[in-house]
């Protein structure tokens, strides 16, 4: 649970966990989790889908076959635009999450404005008491950093995957080179091995860490 004030409410994590369990029970440790999980789905879906669609359009525009042949700055802009669209859709859910994780009204004297029982209740109260625009408070600051971070992460992710694909493809061709005189034509894209799940996971983590 968060705290609003000059002095930190908790000295360390262990004290925070102990007090939250005493005051709210185990459920208090998961306060605001529902809107967090709900926000992840549209954010990931919109950002990845928009970026892949943008790259497809850019490949057709330039008449190239691979993403890496699209100019870097255009891929960066495509990733940033995808980040803007994703954050615009999911930002109200992040607002609700933050509000639900703030300290209770009995401590802040907030006249009940922060007394949210569920995510639905938070949406209802914020919209009724402060207007729909309150769900987007602070969005301008987020949209300055967020889109650039998302765009950079997408570009780094694609670059790392491209390097790994080339290494795998080169290794496969060395091991399974066609015999001369057979007249066989090998489709490099079709024969290229797919990345393992662990490879994609590590690459995504590195891309995210680099962007941060």
Q: At what angle do helices 139-175 and 72-100 cross, to 10 degrees?
A: 130
Among 11, 140, 15, 151, which residue's Cα sits nearest to residue 83? 151
176: Cβ–Cβ under 8 A, 6 or more apart, which residues? none
188: Cβ–Cβ under 8 A, 6 or more apart, which residues? 169
Distance of CA 204 to the CA centre of its chain: 11
3-class DSSP state of 75: helix
pTM here is 0.63
Average pLDDT over residues 70-77: 90
CA 167 to CA 151: how far, in whole Å?
25
What pLDDT does 74 receive?
Answer: 92
CA 108 to CA 125: how far, in whole Å?
17
What pLDDT does 87 receive?
Answer: 84
110 φ, ψ (degrees, to nearest 5): -90, 15
How do residues 107-130 score in pLDDT, each as one tens digit?
A: 443 434 446 777 788 888 888 888
Q: Classify each residue of 146-160 as buried b or exposed e, where b means 16 or more C-beta atoms within 10 Å of its C-beta.
A: bbebbbbbbbbbbbb
Distance of CA 49 to the CA centre of its chain: 12
How do residues 158-209 score in pLDDT, each as one tens digit?
A: 888 878 777 766 665 555 555 444 444 444 444 445 667 777 777 777 777 7
What pLDDT does 187 receive?
Answer: 42
What pLDDT does 174 receive?
Answer: 52
Compute CA distances 152 → 74, 75, 80, 157, whole Å. Answer: 11, 9, 8, 8
Say what percent of the chain tops pLDDT 70: 72
Residue 20 has pLDDT above 70, yes or no: yes
CA 203 to CA 206: how far, in whole Å?
5
């Amino acid at each position: 649970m968060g705290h609003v004030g000059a002095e930190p409410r908790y000295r360390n994590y262990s004290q925070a966990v102990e007090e939250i369990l005493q005051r709210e029970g185990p459920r208090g440790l998961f306060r605001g989790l529902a809107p967090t999980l709900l926000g992840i789905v549209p954010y990931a879906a919109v950002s990845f889908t928009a970026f892949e669609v943008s790259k497809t359009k850019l490949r057709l525009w330039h008449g190239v076959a691979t993403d890496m042949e699209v100019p870097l700055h255009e891929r960066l802009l495509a990733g940033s635009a995808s980040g803007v669209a994703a954050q615009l859709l999911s930002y109200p859910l992040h607002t609700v999450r933050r509000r639900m994780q703030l300290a209770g009204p009995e401590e802040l004297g907030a006249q009940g404005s922060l007394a949210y029982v569920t995510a639905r209740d938070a949406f209802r109260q914020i919209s009724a008491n402060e207007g729909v625009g309150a769900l987007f408070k602070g969005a301008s600051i987020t949209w300055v950093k967020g889109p650039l971070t998302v765009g950079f992460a997408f570009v780094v992710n694609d670059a790392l995957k491209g390097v790994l694909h080339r290494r795998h493809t080169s290794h496969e061709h060395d091991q399974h080179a066609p015999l001369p005189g057979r007249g066989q034509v090998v489709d490099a894209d079709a024969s290229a091995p797919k990345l393992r799940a662990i490879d994609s996971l590590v690459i995504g983590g590195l891309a995210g860490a680099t962007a941060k």
